[in-house]
Amino acid sequence: MDIKIIIDARMIEKRIAILENGKLVDLKIERPSSQPMPGSIYKGRVTKVLPGMQAAFVDIGTEKNGFIHRDDLVSFQRSSYDHGKKQQMNISSFVKEGEELLVQVVKEEFGTKGAKLTGMLSIPGRHLVYLPKSAHVGVSKKIKSSDEREKWREIGQKWVGDEDGMIFRTSSEGQNDKALKIEYDHLARQYEAIIQQVEAAKCPSLIHQENNWYERIGRYIVTKSVEEIIIDDRDGYETLLKWAENASGLKEKIKLYTGKENIFAHYAIESEIEKALWPHVWLKNGASLRIDHTEALTVIDVNTDKYIGRTNRQETVLNTNLLAAEEIARQIRLRDISGMIVIDFITMKEKEDQSKVIAALKRWLTNDPMTTVIYGFTAMGVLELTRKKERRPLYDVLSSKCPVCSGTGNVLSAETIAYQLERALWERRYMDEEGIWIECSGQVAGLLKEKYGEELNELENILNYKITMTETEYPYAKFEIRHVGTIDEIQKRINRYH
C-alpha cells in the first residue's frame, strides 16, 4: 500500500494528512488548547466517589472534572486480593474523597463528559512503551516471527523485574537489543523526573504533556510503511530528519515543500476536509452514504440512488454494499467516528452476501490504528460495530453547533414564524401606543401580507394600532419587534437605520 504523509506546519495550527493509495484516510489536527489531551499526566484530587458506578470524579484543574473507573486505579491493580475477590469489592475500598491521585488522560473531553482517566501510566517512546507499576510485558502481535516475539518478552522481563512493565511496539521488529535498552532507560528516567515534579507540584495541576508534536509524528512514521513524507516547514523538516537518522531508508523519503500555495490546497486535501463535514457521501457508481451523528451513536445509511445495476437485483445490492464498505471504512477513520456505529446496508437476503460485506469492511479497516469490533448483522438487518474512542470526532473539532438550529439541522419554517408574529401582534391588541415597527425576513412579511392584504389595513383595524413592517435579508425566517411608540418616533428610527 502506498502511504503518503502531508504535513501543514507553517501556522500555529498543525495538520497532518495521511493518504493511502492517493485517498485521504486520516487527519490529525494539533492546536494550542487548555483541554486535557490524551497522554497528559495530572496531579488531581478526588472530588466524589460513586459506588453505584464503581467510579470517581477527579479535579485535574480543567473546566470539567475527569472520570476514573475502579479498575483503572493503581490501588486496585496493585491490591493483594485475588481477582475474584477484587471484582466484588466496592471502589470505596480503594479510593477516598479528597485523596490525591496521579492520573493520565485516556480520552479527551467530549460534550458534557469530562476526560476519561487512568492511574496506570504509560510513557511512550519510539519503539517501546514504559508502564510503571504495571508488572506486564507485552509484544506487538504484528511482529511476524513468534521466535522474535518470545525473545523480546524474555528480554523485557529481565529489564522491568517484578514492579514495572513495558510494551514492544511493532517497530521493535529487527531492532538491536542494546539500542532498545538505551530507549528503555531513557523512558524510565523520564518517569522518575515526573515523580520528582509531582512531589513539588500543587494539586490540582498539569505535570507532563507532550509539547513536541513531532515526536508523535515520528512514532507514527517508524511504525508504518511510509513511501513519502512532505512537510512545508524547514524547522520541522530538520526535526524529522533527525528522527529518521536511525531508521533505514527513511531520510530519503522526507521532502521539504517550498511552493507558495498552501500545501493542503496543492495536494487537494482542503476540498476533502470540507467534504468530510457533510453528511452525504457519493460513491463512484452513483450510490451514496448518509452519515448522521447522535449523542449515543452514529448511523450510516447506504442508498442505491442513481445506481440501478446491469444484471439482477442481488448482484446490484451486493456490489453497492461492497463499495460502500470500502468508503465507510475510510470515512470512519477520516471523520474519527468512534463509540457505537450502526450501518444500514441495502437489505441482503443471503447470509453469504452479508459475510462478504463484513469481510470487506474488516479488510478495509486493517490499517486503522483504533480498535474496531464488528458484532454482525442484527435481526433487523443492520450491522453493529464499535470503535475505540480517544479523540473528539472531526466534526466536533472543526465545527460548532449552529446558533439557529442548535445542532438539529432544522429551523422553523417561514410559515411557522409568520404565525408567531401574528400571535405577537395580537398580544398587543388595544395597547396605548400608536404603532409598532416589525423587521422581518421577506418570506415572513409576504405570508402575513398575503393573509391580511398588502397594506395590513384589516389587521390594523382589528388591533387598533399602526403596523409598520420593513424587510431585511436574514438567512432564515425571523422577525424582531424594533420599536413600539408614536408613528413619528417609528419613522425617525426607520430613517436612521435604513
Q: Which fold has domain 3-34+211-271?
A: Nucleotidyltransferase; domain 5 (3.30.420)
What is the distance between the alpha carbons of residues 442 and 455, in angstroms, rounded to a whole number?
A: 15
Q: Is residue 393 a contact partner of residue 336, using CB atoms and an 8 Å limit? A: yes
Q: What is the pLDDT of residue 256?
A: 95
Confidence (pLDDT) at 451: 85
Give me the pLDDT at residue 248, please: 66
Alpha carbon distance 447, 445 (integer Å): 6
**Segment 196-222 mean pLDDT:** 79
Among 3.30.720.200, 1.10.10.10, 2.40.50.140, 3.40.50.300, what is the CATH number of 41-208?
A: 2.40.50.140
- pLDDT higher than threshold 70 for residue 366: yes
The pLDDT score that the predictor gives to residue 223 is 58
Neighbours of 141 (CB within 10 A): 8
pTM reported for the whole predicted model? 0.76
Q: Which long-range contacts (C-beta less than 8 Å, at least 24 apart) are formed by 274-278?
A: 276/27, 276/331, 276/334, 276/335, 276/394, 277/394, 277/395, 277/398, 277/399
Using one digit for the tens of pLDDT, what is the confidence trace for 223-235? 567 889 999 999 9
Q: pLDDT band for position 72 (50/70/90)?
A: very high
What are the extents of the domains in the chain? 3-34+211-271, 41-208, 279-398, 414-497
| The 3-state secondary structure of 166-232, one letter per residue | EEECHHHCCCCHHHHHHHHHHHHHHHHHHHHHHHHCCCCEEEECCCCHHHHHHHHHHCCCEEEEEEC
Mean of the pLDDT values across residues 35-54? 91
What is the tens place of the pLDDT at every residue in 137-179?
Answer: 999 988 889 999 999 999 999 998 778 899 998 888 888 889 8
CA dihedral 168, 172, 177, 182 (to 10 degrees): -70
User: Residue 406 has what pLDDT?
Assistant: 78
pLDDT (tens digit per residue) in 299-329: 999 998 766 666 678 888 999 999 999 999 9
Decide if pLDDT at 94 tops 90.
yes
Q: What pLDDT score does 202 carry?
A: 93
Judge whether residue 213 has pLDDT over 80: no
Write down the mean pLDDT value for the chain.
89
Mean pLDDT over 51-57 rounds to 94
What pLDDT, on the 0 to 100 scale, is given for residue 403? Answer: 80
